[in-house]
Chains A and B, each alone.
Chain A
Amino acid sequence: AQTVTQSQPEMSVQEAETVTLSCTYDTSESDYYLFWYKQPPSRQMILVIRQEAYKQQNATENRFSVNFQKAAKSFSLKISDSQLGDAAMYFCAYKGTYKYIFGTGTRLKVLA
């Protein structure tokens, strides 16, 4: 069975600084997708970034980028130039054949 692990329950970052959120996963599938979702206090789940496992190039979306290490089954999220609006829960997610599996989340605090 596939699993997703986020080992950092909470992280803090100073405004304008860079922070990296960790995620590891376990799977025997060769074709899959990985995602980071953001959940602000409004509760809405927002897709931040996605990565295809068959692509070696790391995905980037503006200030958000990932470090995808397929052999190590690691998928970390880097947020550059952190802003107060980045404060939220961040969930790492895996999609294999048809189901999505989520990690337990990392709460990110942004300090002014």
Chain B
Amino acid sequence: DAGVIQSPRHEVTEMGQEVTLRCKPISGHNSLFWYRQTMMRGLELLIYFNNNVPIDDSGMPEDRFSAKMPNASFSTLKIQPSEPRDSAVYFCASSRLPDLWGYGYTFGSGTRLTVV
């Protein structure tokens, strides 16, 4: 089991550029979550998918953010155009639903995004 795989691990980009973060969930997991972590706000849920379908995107901060899950093994989070305040660590997590026993997420290692 390779775990949840995120790429890139670090991303530095200039303000106004498009940024795409990638996530490969654990095989067999049918739920995927994108989180943003900052010092001020902690871990914020941006969006989550069940069976590749977006269920709740109320955490997506602005229209500049978009997420897709074209198949069960791949998801992207895109920011266009990027701004310095988007600098954060972005985590992807997956789990198996129904998570009847609450075994928790498996997190990726995160992508540290710096927008200069």
Q: Which residues of A contact B (CB under 8 A)?
A: 32-33, 35, 37, 42-45, 47, 50, 52, 91, 93, 95, 98-105
Within the complex, what minimum Cβ distance (angstroms) separates B30 from chain A?
12
Distance, CA A49 to CA B82, complexed state (A): 37
Determine chain B's interface SS by DSSP, over half rule: strand
Q: Establish whether residues B103 and A50, one from each chain, have CB atoms under 8 Å apart when the complex forms.
A: yes
Q: How many residues of B contact A (CB 8 A)?
A: 23
Residues in A whose Cβ lies below 8 Å from that of B89 = 43
Q: Mark B79-102, 1 if CB is under 8 A from A, else 0.
A: 000000000010101000101011
Q: Establish whether residues A44 and B43, one from each chain, have CB atoms under 8 Å apart when the complex forms.
A: no
Is B70 in contact with chain A by the CB < 8 A criterion? Answer: no
Q: Establish whether residues B102 and A43, one from each chain, have CB atoms under 8 Å apart when the complex forms.
A: no
